[in-house]
Each structure stands twice: as structure tokens, then as C-alpha cells.
Structure 1
Amino acid sequence: MSRTLIEVGALVQSAEQVWNEPSYVLCEGDRVIAAGPGQYTGDKRDLTVFKRPQSVAMPGLVNTHGHAAMTLLRGAGDDLPLQTWLTERVFPMEAKLTGDAIYWGTLLACWEMLRSGTTCYTDMYMSMHNAAQAVSDSGMRGVLSWGMVGLDETSATNGIANSRSFVKTWHKQADRRITVTLGPHAPYTCPPAYLREVADLSAELDVAIQIHLSETRAEVEESLRLYNKTPIAHAADCGLFERPLLAAHCVHVSADDIELMKAAGVHVAHNPQSNLKLASGIAPLVQMKQAGLTVGIGTDGAASNNNLDMFEEMRLAATLHKATSGDAAAIPARTAFAMATADGAAAVFQEPLAGTVTVGAPADITLLDMQSPHFLPTYDLISNIVYSAGADDVTDVFVAGKPVVVHREVQTLDTERIAYETKRIHSVLLSHS
């Protein structure tokens, strides 16, 4: 089994454990088997060593919500409200995307995420066999769903069939880097009977569910009109809360909604930048955290963000809620860091210890350049990472113990080919606009 030693100038094992001194991480196969301050003095035979004395090692970032291949639509419909953006720009362009386009669009997203230190991400989209192949080729971890809608019998039947096939083909594949979940899009695209069918399928296949919930005020108002319930209460009554569930956005949730989510153990993907850009609102993150909900951070798709930089999201999650609450300590740097790492991993149903650099954890590790001006000076390393650092500071990335970015160069992807294919697909989309 391969053994890898990473020698660094500082180490952040978790939000609680920081070593601002020379440290090391020892990996065997896809696991961390030793980590801490000082020098590794054990057996160095058959050991691949990465010497990075000017870098800080930290857990790889976890992007808890997105639509990877929507990188192909980056900038295609900016400065529009959500429903207009969807119906007038996104849906017409998505109708022209082929499986081949989904593959290359997903690789483009993987390229961007790896270069910005993300090692695991969540995706809900279409043609997901192609997307899963891209994840497999990239070396990343993916928590993937085939987007399901039930507005007519054909789409509903296809959604169930596609999801069954997708789970059977890809769940726990690519050296177990791929996790498959069910992906009903939202209550407004999935009638109650269909959501109940999805909940039953989740139990049958023993997989979790991810869904958009309470993203806009209009969504909540429509749910109250149709069902006399909020989207949260409606989803619970349809059986979704009886299954492991990741709810994306949760912008317009009440105290009763939060209590209901907490009682059912619902996880939340907080997407501050996308919610701001689409004028959806600001989620009550402080209240959700105070209630004890498991909350991770996500970028959403690059068509509504418009990048996949988790450093931006982490910083925004920490700063935005200080302003809305009037409390400078509302979301401290360590809380935001945990949401982007260990809490994010838990939110997307990864194994215990994922999102940390501790013994027994998956060896998903990101290195940052401490010679960057963002780390000068350093009074508190976590504060520098959350409030100062950015994607350009990422130097190396390891996923499952394997180096996927080395000296800022992605090792697993043909980036020139991805750029070429992206431009080709872009030309096709423009020619049919």
C-alpha cells in the first residue's frame, strides 16, 4: 500500500486543533495514519515525501451544494431574479446540453474546484452518468444526484428510472469516492405523491436525499397557498424527513421550520453568495446554528455565483451574518472554517472524521502558500485562512492520499483539452441562442 509523507510549516487538523509550527501528515493508502507537530521519525522506506516547509496543510474544502456542469452557463443570465433566470435563460440553454457537454462541463468545474482547494462536492443535475465519469476521471469526491422532477408522468417515470440506474451503476464506485443520493429538485417541481415515492425509493435503495427547500419568499407563499404549509412542513409531511436529507438554501425558514428540521436531523447547505446574487435573501444561519443543525457551505452552480471558490463562500458566511445580526461574533472564523470542512462533510453524509486531518480520516488535504501576503502577518492561522486567503493561495491538493494538484498544476486533468471543449460547447450554445 502506498505511503505518503507531507512535511509542512504549519498544520490545521480541524477548527479546534491548530499547529502553527513545522508539522507533518503521514498517509497510507487513502487514510491519514499520523499527523501532528514536529518531524516524522518513523520508517521512511518506500515513502513518497512532499516537502512544503512554506505551506500550511488543512482539510480539503467541502462544497455542499452545486450543479457542476452549469459552469457552461457562467454569465449567461446575470442580474435576473431566480424564476426569470431559470425560465428565460437557464432552462432553454440546458435543453441544448448533451451528455458530452455535461461531461466536459463537469470536468471544467472539477478543474476550478481542485485549483481552489475543494476535494469533495455535491452535484444535482442531468445526464449524471457522464458527470460521474468526470468525477471518476478527476480524482475528486462527489456526492451526486440525478435531478428529478414530477410535473408530468413521463418526467416522473424517467426520474425514478434514471435514479435507480444511477445508484446501481455509480454508488460507492471510483474507489468509493462517489456517493449517490436521490435528487428531487424542489416541492414546486415535484408533486406530493412524487415526493412520497422518492422517500420510499430512498428507503428501498438505502441512499440519502438532497433537495432545494425554501429558497425564495415566492416559493414559501405558493406552498402556503397550495398546501397551507411551509415547504419545510410540506416536505416533512411527504415523508422526506424520515430519510437522511440535505436541504439546500433554507433562506425563508421560520422558527417552527428550524425546530422541525432539528427534530428530524435534516442537514442544510448554506449558499450565501448565490442567494444574494439572485436576490433570494439571507438564510437565518445564526438561528440554525444555535438550534444545533448540521450546516455546510455551498457555492451553488457557477451560473448563479459565478465561481466555485469556497474561500469566498467561507468568508461571506462569516461576515454576512455579523451584519444581519449586529453581532461581530455571530459566526466566528472557526465556525465558518468548520462549516467548510468537517461540518460540510457531515452535511453531505461523508464518514466520521472526514473534513479533518486526524488519524483515521480520509486523506483529503489542501496546502496553502504561507509566503502569500495573505499570511503576513499571522496572529491567528484560522483567521488568516477564513478572512484573508483565497483560491490563488492553493499550492497542492491530495484526495484519498493521492496528489491531484502539485505546485498549482492539476495532475489528473488535461486542462488544455477541457478549455478547448468548453469553447466548442460555448460556440454551439451561442449559435442556437
Structure 2
Amino acid sequence: MSQIETRLTQEFNIIEKVVQWRRHLHQHPELSFEEKATTTYIGSVLSEIGIPFEQVSPTGLIGYIRGNGKSEKSIALRADIDALPITEDNKHDYVSLNPGVMHACGHDFHSSNLLGVAYLLNEIKHTLDGNVVLIFQAAEERIPGGASAIIASGILDRYQVQKVIGQHVSPQLPLGTFGFKSDYAMASSDELYIDISGRGGHGAQPQLNLDPVIISAQLLVGLQQVVSRYADPRIPSVLSFGKVIANGAANVIPDSVHLAGTFRTTDETWRAKALEKIENLIIQTVNAYGASAKIEIKRGYPALFNDPTLTTTLQSLAAKLYGSEHSISVPTWMASEDFAYYAQKYPSLFYFVGTRNEEKGIVSELHTSTFDIDETIYERSVEFMFKGAVSVLQNL
């Protein structure tokens, strides 16, 4: 690894470039499936570095670093590029210039970090006994996501991808730490939309009405039984409803109620059974009251499985580089990620990068208007993904 160490030292100013790239992306966020300017910008940086790329979807792109030709096998490194419909409330001088759109989930960090890694890998490509595919993926934040389209295009198979590595910032982990979870690291995610139709009227005469508010209340409580009484307690499961709209008044029973929620788990067999039970319970409850319901279950991303061998390899590398106290095991995160689609087809690892710095006040959670990262993390995050990629590539 001596040549790699030398290259890292010589090119340490790449971190300054990475910060510049990140700040440009942060100022110009774009929503899922709309990342045209982002795609153009990333393409311009890759061209400047000297890395060829192509597009297999309207937004996002795939870069390719060819090694010394001794092997046609490749690994893939993935970063997502889309932003969220959030108005930024930070005070630094590179806040979002697009009203109502913000990089509140760190995708600007993921993309700029991968550009830095790409720069370093391209500098030593003649030493690589294999190739590196760079996935700058669109639309992670919006179902159906962008990963499945990339896989369906066949480009990863064409480049003989053997393993896929991705990362995500974590404001819950201290700055400079790396979090790893073998096996199922993140949950599946399905969205539930329920419209209950009854018969509205005066609140003083409930006997003349068919109250959808009462029915919805029964459902909100009853559906929790699916998790508490049908799920194996050893399988993580979450059912939450975040939207209840009745549009009545203090003395007006409405005609209908709209419910919207999410179901998450890490077991695909239980996922299918749970969704079936949820739908049946809705139908039975509504029918028992003589009302009707329209049910839409929007299937989201599958659970994300981290390959145990790959996880151990990179967790050990992080411990070697930064000390075991900075290479930690983390619990399953019940959020979802379309990186899971890569992991269904290829041995994969999705790890977490700690960016929390309480001294600087950088503590806001993901998907909030004040989310930010401590940019000093790049010194480790670029180095770790770079060295991790080289290590994995050398052992294909």
C-alpha cells in the first residue's frame, strides 16, 4: 500500500476540491428524476479528471476506470445524487439556491466523496488488477428509485461487476467513526393509503350517520396488532401512520377519512404476509361497520442485506486505519434505501459515516431543514472508500 499512501499524501489537496464540489452540489439541489444540472456537473468533473462515462437513464451517470488489463472483473462504488423538497434553514454561505429544495440527506456529500475517490483511483489505475464502475445514481428518495433502472440496463453485468459498495452519512455517529452492520442493515419500506367512505352528517345525530372517524380510529389501533401479535418478535417490524385527514368539524361528521402510513421490516417472507394481513384486516373492519374502503399498497424498496464477508473486510480495514473505537457495529436502521436492489444481485456493503460534531453544533437529523455535515470528515471518508475499493479489488 506504499504507493497508495504516497499518492494520498501528494494529492491531499484533492480534499479542497471535494469540498468545492460538495458546496456546488449543495447550492444547486434537484429533486428525484429531475437531476439534469447535477448530472451535467458531475459529468464535467469526471471529464476534467479524465474518466469516461455514459448515461443509462435520463439523469445520473456511470463512470468507468479501467485497470491494467490483467482482469476484466470490476467492483462498483455508488453515490446517490437527488435532493429533497425541503426549504433550507442554514446560515452558511453555500445554502441552497433552489427554493424549497435542499440536500437534507447528504447526497451532495456522497457524490462529492465519490468524485474524490474516483480522482485517486484514476491516478493509480495502472496498478489495479481490475476495474472500477462509478455509479452516480438518480432518484433514491422517490419510489421506484433509480437503482433498478441501472441494474435493468445490464451495464453492471457488461462491466462484470462482482461487488458493490455504498455509504451514507450519519448525524447519529460521532465525527470520524464508521458504522457497519452485517446481514440486514436497513428495512424494506411500503406505503399504505386508505380511504374510508361512510356517511357524514350532524355530530348531534350519530345514529343517522356512518362515522368514518370512528372506523379509522379502530383501524389505527387494530392494525398495530399485526406487528404485536403476528410478527415473530425477533424480526424488526414497524407500522406507522403519519397522515389522518377527516375534513369534518367539531359538530360535523365527515363522509370520508384518508389515512397514509408506512410498513417496514427486514424479512421479505414476513413482509408479504404482513401486507396481506393488513389488507384483510382493513377490509374486515370496514365491512363490519357497513362502510367501504379503497386501499392502495405501494411497494417500496426491499430490505438491505450487507454481505457478511465484505462487511468484516471493510470493518477490519477501518479499525486498522483509525482504531477500533472508530470502526463500530451499529444496529439495524429501519429506514430504507434502494441500494438494496444492488445487494439483491451482488455481494454488497452499505456502511455509515459519522458526521456529528456537537462542538460545532452539527447535530441535526437527516431530512431536516438544518441538516449539515462537518466537512473535515472528507479526510477520512475519501481515504477509507479509496483504500477499501483497492483492497476489495485486489482480492476478487
TM superposition score category, shorter chain reference: under 0.3
TM-score, normalised by the number of residues in structure 2: 0.26
TM-score, normalised by the number of residues in structure 1: 0.24
Larger Rg: 2
